C-alpha cells in the first residue's frame, strides 16, 4: 500500500513550522515545487528541491574545469561520426527504499531506457502522466535529435542521433536528464497509480523523499546507501517561505539555516550580521523583457525595437541590482566562451522610440500589459519594481502600461498559454554550451513546448542554430553565435536587460553549500559546524 504523504495541504501554522535541526539543515525555499520530477518543468524552484537531492544523471559537469564527469555512466564515447553514443553504466547503484517501494534489483540499462523513452515516445505508458510536455527536452531539441535508444547489455546503452550535435552531451548533464526506476514505474502501473511516480519520487540520489505539505515543508532524509560518499547531514528540510522579508527574518532568528535570493538592498545588513555570511556566484543568466509576438502590435519588429529604445536600462540596473549586475549586450553573458564583445545593444533614446512607433502606425502610442514575476530570481530580484520603472519610461512615449502578476505556479501556467502581452522574466543556463542560451528560449521547438515567452518562431533563426551545433570547431561556432546575436538584436523578440550574480545568505555554522554556477542546489557536501561548548 502506498503511503499518501505527498501533496497534503491541510495543517495548522504551528505544526507546519520546522524545528531547528542539530543533524540537518533547514533551507527556506522561495516557493513550492511544481512536481518532484524535474523532467516535467523548467522551474528553478523545482530543480533546487529535486534534481541533485533525489536523482542522478548519466553525466555530470564541472564548470570550473569545463569538462564532463562520470555519473551513472562510467564511460562514454562517440561512434559513427558522432551520430551514436555508447554509455557504459555503473554497477552496484541502488534505488531508494521507501515505505512505498522496495527495489529488488540495482540500477541498470532498463532504467535508462525507461527514463528516456518516457519523454521520447508518445506511446510510452508514462508519457502523458504529468501533462506530457517535457519542456526542456522539447525546447533543447533533444526529442527531435534522438532517433532511438537501445540496450546493448545490462550495463551498456547506445543512443542514436539523427545528426551530429555539439550540444548533446551538455544537455545530458543538465538537471532535467534524471534517471527514474523502471521497476517502480511497473509497480505503480500495476497499482493503477502511475501519477505517484512524480509525487512520491524514487531515485538513486543522496537524499530520500519523506514528505511534502504544500505551502509548508518538504522533508528528506539521508540515503545511507548512496553509491557516492553519503551526505554529511542526516535530514534536509525545505521550509517554503515565498516572502523575501520573512525569509530574512527566519534566517536572523535561526529558523532557517540558508535562504536564496536575499533582497539586494538587504545584502549589506546581512553581511554586517556576525551570525550570517553572504555568498555569491557568477550566474550564467540573463534577465529580459519578452514580447508576445503573436499579439498585435508586438508582431511588428518596429514596435518591439521602439519599446527597446524607450527604456533606460542603466537606471533600471542601478535601482534593481545596486551594482551587482551588468547591462546585457545580448543573450550570451561575458562568461560564455562564445561571447563576442559588442556595442551596448539598444541605446536609451525616447525620441527614436517615438519615431519608430510613428513608422509602425502608432503615433499616439497604445496600451499594453507587463507581466511581472511574483518571486525573486538571481537574474531579477524585483520584477515588480522593474515593471514600475519600465511603466514610467513607456508613459513618456505615450504607451500606457498595466502591471500584471499572479501566484507563481498560476503565473507560469498562464504564461505558457500565451495570455501575456509582455513579461519580465529571464533564463539561467543549464549548461555551458552557448546553444543553451538560445534554443530553449527562442526556437520554434521552445514555442511548441511553452518555454518561448516571446512565442517567436523564425525559420532563419532556427537554421542559424542548426548550423552552429553542427560545427565542431569553436572558432566557427563563435562566429555563428555572433550572427545569431545580431539577428536577435534586429528582430527584437525580447530585450536583454541584465547579467547578474546569484546571492545566498546562510548561518555562519553552515559550510559546503554555495550558489551553483549551473543548475540547481546540491546539498551533498553541506554540513553544520560543531559549536564549541559554552564555558
Specify which residues 496 forms β-bridges with. 288
The phi and psi torsions of 467 (rounded to 5 degrees) equal -60, -40
Are 108 and 92 within 8 A, CB to CB?
no
* pLDDT score at 342: 65
CA 88 to chain centre: 28
Q: How many CB atoms lie within 10 A of CB 70?
A: 14
Q: Which CATH entry fits the domain spanning 285-501: 3.30.1360.20, 3.30.70.3270, 3.10.105.10, 3.30.70.2860?
A: 3.10.105.10
Q: How many CB atoms lie within 10 A of CB 58?
A: 26
Give the residue extent of every domain in the chain. Answer: 13-240, 285-501
CA 59 to chain centre: 18
Residues 6+ apart with CB under 8 A from 172: 57, 58, 59
Are 74 and 90 within 8 A, CB to CB?
yes
Comparing CA positions, the residue from 5, 45, 9, 13 lying closest to residue 27 is: 45
Q: Determine the 3-state secondary structure of 494 from DSSP.
A: strand
Are 203 and 180 within 8 A, CB to CB?
yes
Number of residues that make up the chain: 535
The phi and psi torsions of 139 (rounded to 5 degrees) equal -70, -30
Are 459 and 311 within 8 A, CB to CB?
no
Per CATH, the number for 13-240 is: 3.90.76.10
Are 417 and 449 within 8 A, CB to CB?
no
* pTM for this entry: 0.84
Cα maximum dimension of the chain: 78
* pLDDT score at 282: 82
Are 526 and 231 within 8 A, CB to CB?
yes
> What is the spatial distance between Cα 40 and Cα 50, in angstroms, rounded to a whole number?
12
Task: Print burial letters for 223-237: b (CB count within 10 Å at least 16), e (below 16).
Answer: beebbeeebbbbbbb
Q: How many CB atoms lie within 10 A of CB 167?
A: 22
Tens digit of pLDDT per residue, the chain (535 long)?
333 333 333 333 444 445 556 689 999 999 999 999 999 998 889 999 999 999 999 999 988 888 999 999 999 999 999 999 999 999 999 999 999 999 999 999 999 999 999 999 999 999 999 999 899 999 888 999 999 999 999 999 999 999 999 999 999 999 999 999 999 999 999 999 999 999 999 999 999 999 999 999 999 999 999 999 999 999 999 999 999 999 999 999 999 999 999 988 888 899 999 999 999 988 889 999 999 999 999 999 999 999 999 999 999 999 999 888 999 999 998 888 898 766 657 999 999 999 999 999 999 999 999 999 998 888 999 999 999 999 999 999 999 999 999 998 899 999 999 999 999 999 988 888 999 999 999 999 999 888 899 999 999 999 999 999 999 899 999 999 999 999 999 999 999 999 998 899 999 999 999 998 888 999 999 999 876 554 4
Are 178 and 115 within 8 A, CB to CB?
yes
> What is the spatial distance between Cα 484 and Cα 478, in angstroms, rounded to a whole number?
10
> What is the spatial distance between Cα 298 and Cα 288, in angstroms, rounded to a whole number?
15
* pLDDT score at 449: 85
Are 452 and 420 within 8 A, CB to CB?
no
* pLDDT score at 22: 62
Amino acid at each position: 500500500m502506498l503511503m499518501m504523504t505527498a501533496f497534503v495541504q491541510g495543517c495548522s501554522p504551528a505544526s507546519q513550522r520546522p524545528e531547528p535541526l542539530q543533524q540537518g539543515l533547514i533551507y527556506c525555499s522561495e516557493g513550492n515545487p511544481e512536481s518532484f520530477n524535474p523532467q516535467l518543468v523548467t522551474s528553478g524552484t523545482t530543480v533546487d528541491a529535486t534534481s541533485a537531492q533525489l536523482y542522478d544523471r548519466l553525466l555530470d559537469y564541472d564548470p570550473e574545469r569545463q569538462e564532463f564527469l562520470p555519473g551513472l555512466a562510467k564511460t562514454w564515447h562517440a561512434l559513427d561520426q558522432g551520430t551514436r553514443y555508447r554509455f557504459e553504466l555503473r554497477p552496484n547503484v541502488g534505488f531508494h527504499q521507501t515505505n512505498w517501494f522496495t527495489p529488488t534489483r540495482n540500477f541498470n540499462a532498463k532504467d535508462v531506457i525507461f527514463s528516456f523513452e518516457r519523454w521520447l515516445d508518445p506511446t510510452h505508458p508514462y508519457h502523458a502522466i504529468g501533462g506530457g510536455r517535457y519542456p526542456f527536452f522539447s525546447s533543447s531539441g533533444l526529442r527531435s535529435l534522438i532517433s532511438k535508444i537501445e540496450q546493448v547489455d545490462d550495463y551498456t546503452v547506445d543512443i542514436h542521433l539523427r545528426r551530429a550535435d555539439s550540444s548533446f552531451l551538455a544537455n545530458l548533464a543538465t538537471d532535467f536528464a534524471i534517471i527514474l526506476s523502471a521497476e517502480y514505474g511497473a509497480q505503480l502501473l500495476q497499482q493503477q497509480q502511475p501519477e505517484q511516480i512524480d509525487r512520491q519520487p524514487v531515485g538513486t540520489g543522496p537524499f530520500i523523499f519523506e514528505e511534502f505539505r504544500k505551502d509548508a515543508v518538504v522533508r528528506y532524509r539521508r540515503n545511507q546507501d548512496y553509491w557516492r560518499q553519503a551526505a554529511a547531514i542526516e535530514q534536509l528540510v525545505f521550509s517554503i517561505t515565498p516572502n523575501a522579508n520573512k525569509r530574512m527574518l527566519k534566517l536572523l532568528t535561526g529558523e532557517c539555516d540558508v535562504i536564496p535570493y536575499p533582497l539586494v538592498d538587504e545584502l549589506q545588513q546581512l553581511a554586517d550580521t556576525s551570525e550570517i555570511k553572504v555568498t555569491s556566484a557568477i550566474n550564467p543568466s540573463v534577465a529580459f523583457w519578452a514580447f508576445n509576438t503573436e499579439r498585435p502590435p508586438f508582431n511588428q519588429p518596429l514596435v518591439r525595437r521602439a519599446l527597446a529604445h524607450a527604456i533606460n536600462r542603466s537606471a533600471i540596473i542601478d535601482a534593481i541590482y545596486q551594482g551587482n549586475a551588468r547591462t546585457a549586450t545580448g543573450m550570451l553573458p561575458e562568461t560564455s566562451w562564445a561571447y563576442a564583445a559588442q556595442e551596448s545593444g539598444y541605446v536609451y533614446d525616447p525620441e527614436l522610440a517615438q519615431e519608430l512607433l510613428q513608422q509602425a502606425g502608432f503615433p499616439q502610442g497604445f496600451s499594453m500589459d507587463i507581466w511581472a514575476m511574483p518571486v525573486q530570481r538571481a537574474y531579477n530580484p524585483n520584477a515588480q519594481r522593474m515593471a514600475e520603472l519600465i511603466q514610467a519610461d513607456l508613459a513618456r512615449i505615450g504607451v500606457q502600461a498595466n502591471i500584471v502578476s499572479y501566484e507563481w505556479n498560476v503565473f507560469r501556467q498562464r504564461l505558457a498559454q500565451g495570455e501575456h502581452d509582455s513579461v519580465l522574466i529571464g533564463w539561467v543556463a543549464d549548461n555551458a554550451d552557448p546553444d543553451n542560451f538560445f534554443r530553449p528560449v527562442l526556437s520554434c521547438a521552445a514555442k511548441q513546448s511553452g518555454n518561448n515567452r516571446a512565442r517567436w518562431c523564425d525559420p532563419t533563426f532556427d537554421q542559424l542554430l542548426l548550423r552552429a551545433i553542427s560545427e565542431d570547431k569553436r572558432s566557427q561556432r563563435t562566429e555563428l553565435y555572433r550572427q545569431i546575436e545580431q539577428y536577435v538584436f534586429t528582430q527584437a523578440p525580447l530585450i536583454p536587460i541584465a547579467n547578474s550574480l546569484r546571492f545566498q545568505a546562510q548561518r555562519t555554522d553552515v559550510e559546503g553549500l554555495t550558489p551553483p554556477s549551473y543548475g540547481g542546489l546540491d546539498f551533498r557536501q553541506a554540513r553544520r559546524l560543531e559549536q564549541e561548548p559554552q564555558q
